[in-house]
């Protein structure tokens, strides 16, 4: 058995040895179409020569310099790139090594902001059920993924949760999607009133929900109402775009499609496309100014924040996405993927919903389409789909607990931005076969 401590402690996964474009090859020579970018990370695919060259050049020049002593050119250039592309006045960037670190930094920045502005009584965070905000204790505390929270419940922070914006499961037959979205958004105002209008620090949400529920987009008008509520009560709006941001939904920042500017937005995954570990938060000028004009120092930090090699890699990734107009391909291939999924699974007896934006799509699997009844969680249909798909040379991202944290299954798809028509066809063909094989195991 391997000496590496893998997530599944009693088994060792296949060994990946090389990658090329949209494919990964293992030690046995098996070739896999990476239709989920791992966990929506590898937006440029694998072995991109320009990014590899940027990493090599930076390590030869300066691999690391601690931000307690220096800034570096790659960090400054990447920050300038991101703020120029960001909506509104998201004008300051704080680099970390991944999404969980980014969320943790955002939570702490939001608390310090309130203290610096003379509101130390603000101590509550509000989030949504069926969300995911990372695996640190702070991220798990605001996250709404019940299975991930359960083991650590006694040591989590006391956070508060409202309903998700999840129209497939919760919209009433007598209301439009927009009316539904406004109704669940208004839960935020009710919870703020319940906790005390001057005691809430921030509301945090994924702009498009990722792995917990499977590419669930917000209802029309939902985030505009959320923004209004946050402004009314002086609450900060934190958007988690770790999975859905950096072009995954068709725009560099997913919130641009909602017409809102958060006070803080967290990005990662597609920022560095897996070539180096990197994440970041961007904050609006007023958040930065509260620190700069107050104590003058953000009471937080990590050893590898602003890592020059990671920043150089991420800058090369983002420049390639821009220079080769890959967001146009996200829209074109996203539309083709959506059409292919509806063509192949639109009338499937066990596919209840097909949803998402851009190259961020999901199938929700159900036992009965009419009632939307999920499969028995004990069947672990999502795990079976993952196994049968890999057996067919397809990497996808199935998860369980989709409906309520316990029951429900979905398959998340997030192929690289370089994907073409041939790979879209290959993806849908292999997924159809894998799903049929997994369902055969469960229902015979």
Model pLDDT, residue 168: 97
Model pLDDT, residue 332: 98
Model pLDDT, residue 444: 75
User: How far lies 383's CA from each of 118, 205, 400, in Å?
Assistant: 49, 27, 8
Model pLDDT, residue 8: 77
% of residues, the chain, pLDDT over 90: 96
Q: Write out the H or E segment, with its range, that includes residue 92.
A: strand 90-96
User: What are the tokens at 217?
Assistant: 């987009």
Model pLDDT, residue 10: 75
Judge contact between 82 and 282, C-beta under 8 A: yes
Name the CA dihedral angle for 269, 272, 274, 279, rounded to a multiple of 10 degrees. Answer: -50
Q: Look-up: residue for tokens 């159809």?
A: 432
User: Tell me: the pLDDT tens digits for 333-361?
Assistant: 999 999 999 999 999 999 999 999 999 99
Judge contact between 325 and 350, C-beta under 8 A: no
Distance CA 192, CA 176 (A): 25
> What angle in degrees, to the nearest 10, is found between the helix axes of 421-443 and 381-391?
130
Domains annotated on the chain, with CATH:
16-34+325-443 (3.90.1150.10), 52-323 (3.40.640.10)
Q: What is the largest CA-CA distance in the chain?
A: 66
User: Tell me: the pLDDT tens digits for 250-297?
Assistant: 999 999 999 999 999 999 999 999 999 999 999 999 999 999 999 999
Q: Which residues of the chain have pLDDT under 70?
A: 1
């Amino acid at each position: 058995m391997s000496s590496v401590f893998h997530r599944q402690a009693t088994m060792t996964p296949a060994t990946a040895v090389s990658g090329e474009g949209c494919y990964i090859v293992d030690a046995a020579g098996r070739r896999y179409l990476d239709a989920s970018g791992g966990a929506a990370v590898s937006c440029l695919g694998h072995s991109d020569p320009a990014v590899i060259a940027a990493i090599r050049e930076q390590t030869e020049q300066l691999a690391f310099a601690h931000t307690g002593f220096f800034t570096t050119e790659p960090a400054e250039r990447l920050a300038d790139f991101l703020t120029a592309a960001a909506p509104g006045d998201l004008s300051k960037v704080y680099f970390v090594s991944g999404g969980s670190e980014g969320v943790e930094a955002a939570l702490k920045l939001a608390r310090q902001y309130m203290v610096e502005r003379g509101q130390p009584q603000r101590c509550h965070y509000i989030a949504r059920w069926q969300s995911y905000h990372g695996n640190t204790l702070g991220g798990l505390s605001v996250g709404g993924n019940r299975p991930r929270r359960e083991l650590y419940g006694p040591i989590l922070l006391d956070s508060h949760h409202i309903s998700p914006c999840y129209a497939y499961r919760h919209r009433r037959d007598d209301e439009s999607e927009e009316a539904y979205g406004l109704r669940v958004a208004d839960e935020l105002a009710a919870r703020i009133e319940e906790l005390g209008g001057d005691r809430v620090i921030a509301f945090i949400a994924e702009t498009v929900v990722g792995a917990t529920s499977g590419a669930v987009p917000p209802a029309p008008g939902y985030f505009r109402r959320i923004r209004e509520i946050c402004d009314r009560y002086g609450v900060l709006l934190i958007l988690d775009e770790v999975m859905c941001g950096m072009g995954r939904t068709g725009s560099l920042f997913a919130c641009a499609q909602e017409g809102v500017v958060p006070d803080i937005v967290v990005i990662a995954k597609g920022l560095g496309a897996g070539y180096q570990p990197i994440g970041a938060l961007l904050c609006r000028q007023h958040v930065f100014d509260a620190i700069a004009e107050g104590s003058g120092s953000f009471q937080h930090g990590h050893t590898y924040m602003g890592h020059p090699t990671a920043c150089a890699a991420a800058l090369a990734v983002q420049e390639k996405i821009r220079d080769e107009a890959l967001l146009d391909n996200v829209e074109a291939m996203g539309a083709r993927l959506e059409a292919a999924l509806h063509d192949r699974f639109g009338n499937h007896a066990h596919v209840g919903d097909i949803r998402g934006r851009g190259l961020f799509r999901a199938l929700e699997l159900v036992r009965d389409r009419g009632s939307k009844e999920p499969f028995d969680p004990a069947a672990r249909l999502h795990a079976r789909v993952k196994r049968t798909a890999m057996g067919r040379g397809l990497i996808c991202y199935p998860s369980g607990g989709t409906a309520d944290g316990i029951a429900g299954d979905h398959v998340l798809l997030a192929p690289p931005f370089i994907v073409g028509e041939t790979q879209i066809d290959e993806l849908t063909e292999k997924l159809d076969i894998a799903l049929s094989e997994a369902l055969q195991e469960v229902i015979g």
